[in-house]
């Protein structure tokens, strides 16, 4: 049984004015996401600014989310690190809290070899019983999980079951699905490529767009799964201008700006990320309005 099918939100971490985590606001956002049919919650991913959370904050955000969601949808904890021992520690703690699965990004900065990636993921997987989704995003990490490597891990390590693919390379994804006979839980990591990856056997998306358009992102996947490929494609194409603006500066700068425009008051970002440029904000606002999102 797959971890989830549909649209998972890579949820932002709301901050107070003093940059502490705003847990009451996080609770509101979680409830709204579930009310708009988001299929799973990913907490402490890239969009959640996990790289600037302390270990204590990271784990508290995971624990809080699991407790607040209370089984309504799966909660997937981002517990990756460029230090294997740290990733093991975070993963074991998330398992104790009751996470449904783990999202493990490739080790950034170190630029591990493919042999190193196999050793890294295997060590983490052997330390827990939870299912693991590998996160392949070379544009941020400088490290690419090649199809052969991903296929080896899925075939040889029982609880490594899926991959969030954010390479943007459709040919690489197709090769991966061929090498695994489609027996890998494939999730798009790019909001502009949901339908293409679904067409290759994907189960859904782990989405930034879902933060501001949860129902529409869910519907892109749901329509495809129901056989309404044309309806799914139309929604995907309609979302492209907004997706472009959500990534016109590095994620999560634009999505936090968008949520603040919607009145969510998620706060600013932790340095080294800084607030969105005013000219980009105007373009983002227009794209949101054109997509039917109410701004305040």
Give the C-alpha separation, 129 to 81, whole Å: 18
Would 147 be classed as within a structural domain? yes
Q: Does 296 have pLDDT greater than 90?
A: no
The closest of 216, 203, 164 to 46, measured between CA atoms, is 164
The answer as to whether 185 is a domain residue is yes
- Tell me the residue range of the domain where 39 lies: 6-226
Mean pLDDT of 40-47: 98
Is residue 71 classed exposed, middle or buried when 0-12, 13-18 and 19+ CB atoms within 10 A define those classes? exposed
- What is the arithmetic mean of pLDDT over 110-135? 97
In a domain, 83, yes or no: yes
Q: Quote the DSSP letter at residue 211.
A: G
CATH number at residue 56: 3.20.20.70
> In this structure, is residue 117 part of a structural domain?
yes
Cβ neighbours of residue 167 under 8 Å, at least 6 residues apart? Answer: 136, 137, 138, 139, 144, 173
Which secondary structure element, helix H or strand E, spans residue 62, and what is its range?
helix 55-69
Whole-prediction pTM: 0.97
Q: What pLDDT does 207 receive? A: 98
Q: How large is the average pLDDT for residues 28-38? A: 98
Dihedral, 164, 170, 174, 180 alpha carbons, nearest 10: -20
Whether 76 and 50 have beta carbons less than 8 Å apart is answered as no
Question: What pLDDT score does 103 carry?
Answer: 98
Q: How confident is the model at residue 206 (pLDDT cuts 50, 70, 90)?
A: very high
Q: Is the pLDDT of residue 75 over 80?
A: yes
- Which are the catalytic amino acids? 135, 164
In a domain? residue 252? no
**Whole-number Å distance between alpha carbons of 90 and 291:** 38
The Cα–Cα gap between 253 and 30 comes to: 20
Domains: count for the chain: 1
How far is the CA of 294 from the CAs of 42, 259, 264, 288, in angstroms?
Answer: 25, 10, 12, 7
- pLDDT on residue 27: 98
In a domain, 249, yes or no: no
| Residue 260 counted as domain residue | no
pLDDT-derived band of residue 191, with 50, 70 and 90 as boundaries? very high
Residue 103 corresponds to which tokens in the numbers above? 């999202």
What band does 136 get if pLDDT is binned at 50, 70 and 90?
Answer: very high
Residue 212, in any domain of the structure: yes
Query: What is the pLDDT at residue 131?
Result: 98
For 1-23, the pLDDT digits (tens) are: 799 999 999 999 999 999 999 99
């Amino acid at each position: 049984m797959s971890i989830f099918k549909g649209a998972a939100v890579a949820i932002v971490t709301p901050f107070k004015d003093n940059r502490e985590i705003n847990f009451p606001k996080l609770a509101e956002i979680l409830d709204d996401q579930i009310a708009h049919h988001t299929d799973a919650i990913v907490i402490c991913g890239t969009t959640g600014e996990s790289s600037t959370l302390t270990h204590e904050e990271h784990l508290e955000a995971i624990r809080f989310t699991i407790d607040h969601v209370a089984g309504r949808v799966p909660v997937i904890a981002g517990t990756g690190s460029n230090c294997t021992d740290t990733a093991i520690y975070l993963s074991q703690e998330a398992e104790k809290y009751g996470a449904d699965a783990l999202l493990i990004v490739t080790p950034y900065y170190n630029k591990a070899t493919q042999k190193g990636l196999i050793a890294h993921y295997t060590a983490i997987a052997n330390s827990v019983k939870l299912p693991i989704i590998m996160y392949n995003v070379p544009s941020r990490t400088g490290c690419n999980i090649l199809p052969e490597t991903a296929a080896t891990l899925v075939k040889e390590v029982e609880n490594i079951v899926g991959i969030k693919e954010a390479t943007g390379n459709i040919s690489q994804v197709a090769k991966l699905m061929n090498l695994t006979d489609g027996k890998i839980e494939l999730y798009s990591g790019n909001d502009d490529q949901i339908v293409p990856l679904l067409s290759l056997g994907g189960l859904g998306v782990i989405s930034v767009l879902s933060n501001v358009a949860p129902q529409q992102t869910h519907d892109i996947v749901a329509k495809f799964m129901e056989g309404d490929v044309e309806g799914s494609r139309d929604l995907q194409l309609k979302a492209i201008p907004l997706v472009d603006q959500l990534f016109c500066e590095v994620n999560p700068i634009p999505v936090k700006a968008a949520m603040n425009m919607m009145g969510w008051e998620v706060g600013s970002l932790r340095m080294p990320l800084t607030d969105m440029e005013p000219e980009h904000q105007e373009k983002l606002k227009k794209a949101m309005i054109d997509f039917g999102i109410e701004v305040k």
